């Protein structure tokens, strides 16, 4: 066992180096600047776990083991894009990238080695190799271990997995840099992490509109016709995605337009842009021998091919430049808005072994295991920098990520398709600096179709992916009106959504939040108000109370509430799943309104809501001020003014924020953004009065009016 020296790396963040890590890690790969100034705004905090026993021991088989204490009911969250559970206490999480994460092992598309504890601290192992977190799942043999034994023959309390009082982290052979993030609340931990990684991403405004991907072998005219059908039917749409067939050859890919299906790419993209559509291109990292890039990329690629194509070493500047130049010339300069980066997440532990093996060698000296672990980050980074270089924001999709990704303009997706898992992934992403898209690809029934479409409209990226079956929002006549309503509602809520993302960018606050983050934050606030001493961190006296029998919501102990989430502070979304006609919803404290019925609920409890198929349970917090715009066909370009109505909820005064900027460039980083403080107060003589205090230069919003004391969202 060894003592650990922690050195402060940023406000509320400490670092130690264990072993001799190689130097190429998620954080160094991305090399983002920590947002130190913003971190200083968070509560001051001391080094977590000081005074408690942290062990470090070398392992006989190589590597070392870091061991931390766990309180009895301490919850452990995060560790990337987990599909199976939210609280990982009692489980072993093997954080290796995996393109087909069907088993409950911890492997996933985005295996982020960052854990958030219910006791209000976080721990990050910054490594390009697989790290294993034993989240109280390894029961060390000690004096009292025998007390854990129970007789399964007769004791109904017997558990398949006894829970231990140590968190153990198995570090890679060569060691790793380990970071600890302070709270006091879980939300503070996550914000510190996001800010340390460069802050959250702020998508272009159009990125928050509706997305539609067309069938893979569509040609230009078919795409344009399908796009225009959205306009004809009054269904907003901002982005059309093209699938593999736009390439002259795919799997591996050329990155070159197919001359048959797209004889005039520039004209095609230009016509789409004129009609208000962004064009997003599918690709993956493997270069076809048919590609003009092949010859020059060959010496810059790994020793194993993928589908017969090259796997370039994108740690090499020369490879990045070849890729970026080609993409700039043949797509970006034409107006293409971004990419869907598929299959960056190959692994050996899957059914189809299409990926290069762990022992592949790359010209930079990295091996296949490292390269697989960070391939998604590399591709995100190279495309992000390409667009940054043109002072143009992008927003896209990616299948693979890792630590440090909060600042990257990408949303994860998967070939998995369980609706509940999709919502859970959305929740879990919020602990890990990730965004998740519960894309709709197909449905078992019209009911399933509607429920999935409702969910995706309240997610970081609202997309229908018809690449395989060609389904459209109007494919089921009985569903069309419902789906139109929710796509239009998303558009109307866009000023709120955009503000929520701006808070992600500047303050590190996750735009979509799992319930433990919301509740921990709330209890933290409540603790402050009640002056009961603030943080309970390190005292072991109490935990967040979430999901424990003694907690505030003890009646529902055992339920994870991983099927509902908040968007920003004021909206709560509780998706329904096929087969359900209603559901239980855990409301945080305060008063909440059902946004489409106006029903009022006291929070701090579980409520049951019956919910016909045409409705998704959406709640607004008492006192919230929700900025809303019209359901335009698409986000207007450039300097077009956008009319906004301010909708205030309930019987209490309130305050909020409204963010705006040009929606397209990075000028906001140099002061080009505008924060409006909005406030609703009791007016003299009763009733309410609203004010919006302009806070910056580039405001396209024109506040056209106020609605006070609402209990539901206004009809269109």
Q: Are 376 and 320 in contact (CB under 8 A)?
A: no
Residue of the chain from 141, 581, 639, 715 that contacts a copy of itself (CB under 8 A): 141
DSSP 387-404: HHHTT----EEES---TT
Least CB distance to a copy of itself at residue 30 (A): 22
Tell me which residues in 18-57 interact with a copy of itself (CB under 8 A). none
- Which is nearer to a copy of itself, 370 or 394 (by Cβ)? 370
Long-range contacts of 48-53 (CB under 8 A, 24+ apart): 48/120, 48/121, 48/180, 48/181, 48/182, 48/183, 48/537, 48/538, 49/121, 49/180, 49/538, 50/538, 51/538, 52/538
In the complex, what is the shortest distance from the CB of residue 288 to a copy of itself, in angstroms, rounded to a whole number? Answer: 6
Q: For a copy of itself, which stretch binds (CB under 8 A), given 154-162, 508-516, 523-531, 589-597?
A: 154-162
Taking CA atoms, 133 is separated from 74, 111, 401, in Å, by 15, 11, 18
Distance CA 553, CA 165 (A): 23
* 541 binding a copy of itself? (CB under 8 A): no
d(CA 79, CA 117): 11
Any contact of residue 59 with a copy of itself (CB under 8 A)? yes
Residues of span 364-393 touching a copy of itself by CB under 8 A:
365, 367, 369-370
* Residue 45 CB neighbours (<10 A): 20
Residue 417 binds to a copy of itself (criterion: CB under 8 A): no
Q: Which span sits near a copy of itself by CB under 8 A: 36-44, 135-143, 594-602, 657-665?
A: 135-143
363 binds a copy of itself (CB under 8 A): no
Closest among 689, 691, 699, 664 to 337, alpha carbons compared: 664
The SS3 call for residue 17 is strand
Whole-Å CA distances, 23 to 9, 176, 311, 592, 701: 16, 9, 22, 49, 46
Least separation in angstroms between residue 402's CB and a copy of itself is 18
Q: How many CB atoms lie within 10 A of CB 16?
A: 17
Count Cβ atoms within 10 A of the Cβ of residue 528 and give its class: 0-12 exposed, 13-18 middle, 19 or more buried: middle
Which residues within the stretch 237-296 sit at the binding site for a copy of itself (CB under 8 A)? 244-245, 247, 249-252, 258, 288-290, 294
Question: Using CB under 8 A, which of 121, 134, 546, 565 touches a copy of itself?
Answer: 134
Total number of residues shown for the chain: 716
Minimum distance of a copy of itself from residue 299's CB (angstroms): 10
The pairing of strands 565-567 and 571-573 is antiparallel
Which one of 3, 7, 31, 153 is in contact with a copy of itself (CB under 8 A)? 153
- Residue 621, Cα to own-chain centre: how many angstroms? 23
Which of 41, 158, 469, 640 is the binder for a copy of itself (CB under 8 A)? 158
Binding to a copy of itself (CB under 8 A) within 104-133 occurs at: 104-105, 107, 129, 132
**What is the C-alpha separation between 475 and 22, in angstroms, rounded?**
53
Residues 160-219 binding a copy of itself (CB under 8 A) are 160-162, 168, 170, 173, 216-217
Among 102, 388, 507, 694, binds a copy of itself (CB under 8 A): 102
Closer to a copy of itself by CB, 318 or 349: give it: 349
Task: Work out how close the CB of 138 gets to a copy of itself at its nearest, in angstroms, rounded to a whole number.
Answer: 4
Query: Among 586, 597, 592, 582, which residue's Cα sits nearest to residue 564?
Result: 586
Closer of 190 and 400 to a copy of itself (Cβ)? 400
Q: What are the distances in angstroms from CA 537 to CA 42, 71, 163?
A: 16, 11, 21
List 55, 165, 229, 348, residue binding a copy of itself (CB under 8 A):
348
CA 29 distance to own-chain centroid: 20
First to last CA, the chain: 65
Q: 5, 146, 529, 639: which one contacts a copy of itself (CB under 8 A)?
A: 146
Which of 303, 597, 710, 711 binds a copy of itself (CB under 8 A)? It is: 303
Please pick, from the candidates 5, 23, 31, 147, the single residue that binds a copy of itself as defined by CB under 8 A: 147
Distance, CA of 359 to CA of 135 (rounded, Å) = 29
User: Which of 16, 28, 270, 305 is in the footprint of a copy of itself by CB under 8 A?
Assistant: 305
- Contact status: 557 vs a copy of itself (CB under 8 A): no
- Per DSSP bridges, beta strands 591-594 and 618-621 are antiparallel
Q: How far is the CB of 211 from a copy of itself (least distance, A)?
A: 22
Taking the least distance from each CB to a copy of itself, the nearer of 228 and 358 is 358
Nearer to a copy of itself, 150 or 233 (CB): 150
Cβ closest to a copy of itself, residue 258 vs residue 330: 258
CB of 689 to a copy of itself, least distance (A): 57
Candidate segments 144-152, 443-451, 566-574, 655-663, binder of a copy of itself by CB under 8 A: 144-152
Span interacting with a copy of itself, options 87-95, 181-189, 553-561, 687-695, rule CB under 8 A? 87-95
- Exactly one of 34, 309, 508, 588 binds a copy of itself (CB under 8 A); that residue is 309
Our measurement of the distance from residue 601's CA atom to the centroid of its chain's CA atoms, rounded to an integer in Å, reads 29
Nearer to a copy of itself, 173 or 710 (CB): 173
């Amino acid at each position: 066992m060894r003592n650990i020296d922690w050195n402060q790396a940023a406000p509320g963040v400490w670092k130690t180096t264990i072993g001799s890590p190689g130097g190429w890690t998620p954080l160094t790969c991305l090399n983002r600047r920590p947002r130190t100034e913003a971190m200083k705004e968070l509560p001051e905090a001391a080094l977590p776990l000081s005074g408690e026993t942290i062990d470090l021991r070398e392992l006989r088989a190589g590597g070392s083991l870091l061991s931390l204490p766990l309180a009895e009911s301490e919850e452990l969250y995060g560790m990337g894009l987990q599909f199976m559970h939210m609280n990982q206490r009692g489980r072993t999480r093997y954080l290796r990238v995996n393109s087909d994460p069907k088993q409950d092992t911890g492997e996933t598309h985005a295996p982020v080695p960052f854990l958030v504890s219910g006791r209000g601290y976080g721990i990050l192992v910054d490594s390009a190799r697989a790290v294993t977190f034993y989240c109280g799942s390894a029961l060390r043999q000690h004096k009292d271990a025998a007390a854990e034994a129970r007789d399964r023959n007769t004791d109904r309390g017997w558990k398949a997995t006894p829970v231990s009082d140590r968190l153990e982290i198995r570090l890679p052979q060569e060691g790793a840099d380990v970071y600890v993030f302070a709270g006091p609340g879980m939300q503070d931990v996550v914000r510190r992490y996001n800010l340390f990684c460069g802050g959250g991403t702020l998508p272009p405004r159009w990125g928050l509109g509706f997305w539609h991907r067309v069938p893979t072998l569509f040609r230009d005219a078919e795409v344009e016709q399908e796009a225009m059908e959205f306009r004809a039917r009054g269904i907003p749409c901002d982005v059309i995605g093209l699938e593999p067939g736009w390439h002259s050859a795919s799997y591996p890919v050329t990155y070159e337009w197919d001359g048959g299906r797209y004889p005039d790419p520039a004209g095609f993209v230009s016509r789409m842009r004129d009609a208000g559509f962004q064009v997003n291109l599918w690709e993956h990292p493997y270069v076809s021998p048919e590609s003009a890039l092949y010859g020059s990329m060959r010496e810059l690629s790994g020793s194993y091919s993928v589908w017969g194509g090259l796997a370039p070493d994108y740690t090499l500047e020369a490879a990045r430049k070849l890729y970026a130049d080609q993409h700039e010339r043949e797509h970006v300069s034409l107006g293409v808005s971004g990419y869907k980066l598929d299959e960056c997440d190959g692994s050996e532990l899957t059914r189809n072994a299409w990926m290069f093996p762990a022992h592949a060698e790359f010209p930079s000296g990295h091996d296949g295991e490292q390269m697989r672990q960070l391939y998604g980050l590399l591709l995100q980074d190279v495309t992000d920098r390409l667009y940054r270089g043109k002072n143009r924001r992008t927003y896209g999709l990616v299948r693979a990520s890792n630590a440090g990704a909060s600042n990257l303009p990408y949303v994860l997706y998967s070939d998995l398709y369980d609706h509940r898992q999709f919502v859970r992934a959305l929740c879990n992403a919020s602990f890990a600096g990730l965004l998740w898209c519960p894309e709709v690809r197909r449905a078992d029934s019209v009911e399933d179709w509607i429920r999935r479409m409702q969910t995706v409209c309240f997610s970081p990226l609202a997309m229908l992916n018809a690449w395989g079956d060609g389904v459209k929002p109007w494919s089921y006549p009985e569903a069309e009106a419902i789906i139109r309503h929710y796509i239009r509602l998303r558009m109307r809520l866009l000023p709120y959504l955009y503000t929520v993302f701006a808070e992600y960018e500047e303050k590190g606050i996750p735009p979509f939040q799992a319930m433990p983050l919301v509740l921990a934050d709330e209890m933290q606030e409540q603790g402050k108000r009640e002056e009961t001493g603030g943080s309970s961190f390190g005292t072991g006296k109490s935990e967040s109370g979430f999901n424990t029998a003694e907690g505030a919501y003890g009646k529902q102990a055992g339920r994870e509430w991983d099927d509902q989430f908040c968007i920003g502070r004021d909206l709560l979304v509780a998706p329904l799943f096929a087969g359900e006609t209603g559901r239980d919803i855990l409301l945080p404290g305060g008063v909440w309104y059902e946004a489409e019925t106006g029903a009022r609920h006291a929070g701090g409890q579980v409520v049951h809501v019956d919910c016909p198929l045409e409705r998704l349970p959406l709640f607004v917090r008492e006192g919230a001020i929700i900025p809303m715009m019209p359901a335009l066909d698409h986000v207007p370009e450039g300097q077009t003014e956008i009319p906004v109505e301010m909708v205030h909820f309930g019987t209490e005064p309130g305050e909020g924020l409204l963010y705006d900027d040009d929606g397209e460039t990075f000028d906001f980083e140099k002061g080009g953004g505008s924060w409006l403080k909005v406030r609703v107060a009791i007016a003299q003589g009763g009733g309410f009065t609203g004010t919006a205090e302009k806070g910056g230069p580039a405001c396209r919003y024109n506040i056209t009016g106020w609605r006070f004391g609402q209990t539901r969202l206004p009809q269109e």
